Amino acid sequence: MKVSDYMVRFLEERGVTDVFGIPGVGCGHLMNSMIGSKITSHLVYHEQGAAFAACAAGQVSHCVGVAYTTAGPGGTNLITGIANAYCDSIPTVFIVGEKDLASLRGDLQVRQRASQEVDIVSIAQPVTKWSYQVTRKEEIRWALEKAFYLAEHGRPGPVLLNIPSDIQREEIEIAALEPFMEPEPTDVDKYVNQITSTLVSSQRPLFLIGNGVKQLGLERELFSLGQALNVPIVTTLVCFDLAPDLPGNLGFIGMDGDPAANRAVHDCDLLITFGARLNFKQTGNNRAAFAPQAKILRIDCDQGELSYKLRDEIGLCADLRELVPALVQAVSQITPWNGAWLEQCRQKKSARKVSLNPVGDELMGDICTKFPEDTLIAVDTGSHRRWLMAQYVGKQGQRILQSAGLASMGYALPAAIGGYYARKTPVICIDGDGGLMMNLQELQLVAREQLPITVLVFNNYCLGDIMEFQKRIFQGNYFATTESSGYQAADFEGIAKAFHLPYQRVATKEEISHIDFTRKAPQLIEILVPSNEI
């Protein structure tokens, strides 16, 4: 069997059905082996789009998202998406085809021997869990098994495999391939006992659910646990879409968070965090003042995060996949709290803060109510994301995809594509006039495949977040953010026409009612927001 054939068979056996990439000589054998396989390769128009699509596929499916590309610029163009997967702990494997091993520079002190040669392994190391070049055909099984194990286990994240073309076309004996030996799972019983004993001794316990829970799809178990015990729950920003209508869910914490959630953190006497890294946007700059009355018990699979302490706290390094089911079973014997603490927290719930753009807030509020159940919503970075956070009304089965840690513009459109292929249901893409332009080329994929993606472009004719910063810090001395300082929004009606997409312009609440969010074909909706409202 040829190595590239083995690679495709391996992906099939791991349940991979969709991959994202761009053709190239370096990955030619891999692409050829996919012909006639169970794997569908989706041609994107920029490698960054492939990487973001793989991120979304990993986020939605809770399995490994896969992207491939060729050597040199193909690999380097993946880096932003790889960094996104690293910051947001998304299980992903990126396969970069390479020129023949014999043609590479090796230990020579030259910049290149082969055309397009670049040390992608070293470039990717700071933003991957593992970055590795396969140099022997016998190690292909070991490398693939290790890549998928590392992507999914512990704190999930991206792995990059660089596989030279001459290795891909080698013939192998499957029985002679080296396996990867998975480590033994951790015994979590001692952690469960510690958590339960700490929990029953508290009067005002609070659960904080972070991205680690969302990425593993464990939110249902923890929300059910909170409901059963009458323990209120708060989330981090990236989880603001999880069960927003649940009575015990007080919302997300932090600088832009819900007042009731922040108040509960202040008043609780025990804070148990699940997979939350507690960065300064969540805790404030004075981390020691966070949850000032509480004993803090932090649960995370990343010892590095636990070493970044708030103050005196209990840190438990454990895999939530193993710990949460054991914890749910153990605490089923605990008598629920009487509900007074939960009711006290719920009484402080109020409307979320309105941003500095009331028009954007109002339009987003009306739009959110129109989103159907079971809809994926991919949102880009910008003013529109803050409006969404303030106005979102969750419905059954909805899920929001965002670039949280890296906060990359250009994420939403390719993420909508990856999310669609992971779930095969219509997707809403919420973007801004700046963010959409970052990966505009992927509209061609949407049009080519007639994907049921509704692209909402909130056009405020400026780069709103940065303009707001310049207004606040530099007294309105704008630079490259407004039409008068060098920025210009695109003609989105013309863009829709160029990509042969249905187009609609919306400027009022009444016009929102004419948007068909159940449409099973692509459309581009431009939502006009006056820039002078910022």
Please identify, among 116, 145, 176, the residue that sits at the C-terminal boundary of a domain.
Answer: 176
Alpha-carbon separation of residue 164 from 2, 64, 115, 238, 489 (angstroms): 13, 22, 13, 37, 42
What confidence category does residue 351 fall into, taking pLDDT thresholds of 50, 70 and 90? low
What confidence category does residue 431 fall into, taking pLDDT thresholds of 50, 70 and 90? very high
Residues 433 and 324 in one domain: no
Q: Over the stretch 377-397, which tens digit does the pLDDT of each residue have?
A: 999 999 999 899 888 888 888
pLDDT > 80? residue 245: no
- Per the domain annotation, does 35 fall within a domain? yes
**pLDDT for 356:** 60
Distance (Å, whole) CA 308 – CA 443: 41
Q: Over the stretch 265-284, which tens digit does the pLDDT of each residue have?
A: 999 999 999 999 898 888 88
**pLDDT for 103:** 87
pLDDT > 90? residue 521: yes
Ramachandran angles phi, psi of 344, nearest 5°: -60, -40
What confidence category does residue 533 fall into, taking pLDDT thresholds of 50, 70 and 90? very low
pLDDT > 50? residue 49: yes
Residues 444 and 491 in one domain: yes
Mean pLDDT of the chain, nearest integer? 93
Residues 85 and 172 in one domain: yes
Residues 77 and 121 in one domain: yes
What confidence category does residue 225 fall into, taking pLDDT thresholds of 50, 70 and 90? very high
Residues 134 and 231 in one domain: no
Q: Over the stretch 411-428, which tens digit does the pLDDT of each residue have?
A: 999 999 999 999 999 999
Q: Domain containing 269: what range?
A: 189-346
Burial classification of residue 435, based on how many CB atoms lie within 10 Å of its CB (0-12 exposed, 13-18 middle, 19 or more buried): buried
**pLDDT for 353:** 58
pLDDT > 90? residue 116: no
Looking up residue 211, the CATH number of its domain turns out to be 3.40.50.1220
pLDDT > 50? residue 169: yes
pLDDT > 70? residue 32: yes
**pLDDT for 354:** 56
pLDDT > 70? residue 355: no
Please identify, among 110, 143, 176, the residue that sits at the C-terminal boundary of a domain.
Answer: 176
pLDDT > 50? residue 534: no
Lowest mean pLDDT among 68-82, 120-134, 229-243, 403-417: 229-243
Residues 236 and 289 in one domain: yes
Residues 377 and 401 in one domain: yes
Please identify, among 141, 176, 211, the residue that sits at the C-terminal boundary of a domain.
Answer: 176
Bridge partners (DSSP) listed for residue 455:
429, 524
Residues 105 and 218 in one domain: no
Residues 125 and 244 in one domain: no
- Per the domain annotation, does 248 fall within a domain? yes
- Per the domain annotation, does 524 fall within a domain? yes
Looking up residue 505, the CATH number of its domain turns out to be 3.40.50.970
Average pLDDT over residues 251-263: 90
- Per the domain annotation, does 181 fall within a domain? no
User: CB of 58 within 8 A of CB of 124?
Assistant: no
Q: Over the stretch 194-207, which tens digit does the pLDDT of each residue have?
A: 999 999 999 999 99
- Per the domain annotation, does 184 fall within a domain? no
Ramachandran angles phi, psi of 316, nearest 5°: -115, 115
Average pLDDT over residues 133-162: 97
pLDDT > 60? residue 215: yes
Q: How many domains does the chain have?
A: 3
User: DSSP letters of 167-215?
Assistant: HHT-B--GGGSPPP-PPPPP--HHHHHHHHHHHHT-SSEEEEE-HHHHH
Nearest CA to 379 out of 330, 313, 304, 435 is that of: 435
pLDDT > 60? residue 175: yes
115 vs 307, residue with greater confidence:
307
Q: How many other CB atoms sit within 10 Å of the CB of residue 396?
A: 10
- Per the domain annotation, does 352 fall within a domain? no
User: CB of 206 within 8 A of CB of 187?
Assistant: no
* Beta-sheet strands, E only, within 326-387: 376-379
- Per the domain annotation, does 353 fall within a domain? no
Residues 86 and 149 in one domain: yes
Tell me the Ramachandran region of residue 176: left when phi exceeds 0, alpha when psi lies from -120 to 50, beta otherwise.
alpha
- Per the domain annotation, does 351 fall within a domain? no
| Longest Cα–Cα distance in the chain | 72
Residue type, 418: G
Residues 368 and 319 in one domain: no
User: CB of 78 within 8 A of CB of 67?
Assistant: yes
Ramachandran angles phi, psi of 130, nearest 5°: -160, 130
Residues 493 and 382 in one domain: yes
Nearest CA to 295 out of 193, 188, 195, 192 is that of: 195
Bridge partners (DSSP) listed for residue 504:
525
